[in-house]
Copies of this chain bind each other. A is one copy, B any other.
């Protein structure tokens, strides 16, 4: 591409034999510019198709009106919902969105942070990768005055930056309680990676619900799934089905794992939910269309994105460096479908898990 030079305020000024500053003021509707000059400038600007150069403005104003977003994978229903929510709010406030995916790799996450800081984004919204256990690459940004950061979903345990999370513990507790209420005696849990706070919270919620019902969580009914794939879900569910104590209910760390589990159960010739009730997490789009429909804990992705974006905009615009103590916790809600509904009496309903 032969270097294209777009026309500038200076070009317009030369054409009219006036100063660039006059053109600038005319274009921005400054009061002290005579109507004739203004009109002439406008005409030339239109004729040449003038487009203001945001780069020059960014340099001068020391702000880019751009937000950086780092997420593990774009191709996830939850994450694409989050992006969508963020984009919506950003756009409405005149901000643009620069997106990097870490691909669940810490190395790429670090690189992404560096790229975005170089680009001088006004703020950074991050959901950490599965690999991330240390957070210095974000926490110790430019030592002096750091870039505003907001974490969401997968957040570091100790950080002064704002955090937006869904109430995983509550969601998991409700899901498990629901299985208990449906008459399940041996409820298994297909857990996520131990280093992720969200996985630990879901596990805790599972345990808590059992304890509240006066039951002791059994370690042999908890299986860790390092990756969130149907294959892993299938394999781990098979392990469970081949043990002495066969579970009659299973709560999975996410819908994809739950799907794998459903496959394993069907293949074994067992019925869902009669023999084994299943409940997932995240309420992926596909859960609705499964057979039976997969019950799941709904994570409000778009809302989370909106909140995260609103939060960072406030952060950016607040003059005082704000101190953030507790995370913003969004309520998750249980969506009950066929995969867990054993009692005819109960209708398909949505229980709010936020209380």
Contact = CB atoms under 8 A, between A and B. Distances in A.
A300 to B, nearest CB: 13
A119 B320 contact: no
A118 B94 CA distance: 12
Contacts of A145: 2, 4-6
Given A118-B51, A259-B289, A84 B73 contact: yes
A58 interface: yes
Nearest to A292: B291
B101 A87 contact: yes
A148 B96 contact: no
Count of this chain's copies in the oligomeric assembly: 2
Contact of A7 (B2, B118, B144, B320): B144
Contacts of A53: 59, 118, 120
A98 interface: yes
Contacts of A326: none
Contacts of A101: 84, 87
Contacts of A33: none
A32 interface: no
Interface string A315-345: 1111111000000000000000000000000
Of the four ranges (under 10, 10 to 19, 20 to 34, 35 or more), the interface on chain A belongs to 35 or more
A55 interface: yes
A62 to B, nearest CB: 7
A49 interface: yes
A96 B75 contact: no
Nearest to A83: B74
A3 B62 contact: yes
Contact of A51 (B81, B117, B290, B320): B117
A211 to B, nearest CB: 34
A134 to B, nearest CB: 18
Interface of A: 1-7, 48-49, 51-56, 58-59, 62, 64, 66, 73-77, 80-81, 83-84, 87, 91, 96-101, 114-115, 117-120, 142-148, 259, 285-286, 289-291, 302, 315-321
Given A2-B145, A6-B145, 14 more contacts: A1-B148, A1-B316, A4-B144, A5-B145, A6-B120, A55-B55, A66-B98, A73-B84, A74-B74, A74-B84, A75-B84, A84-B101, A96-B115, A289-B290
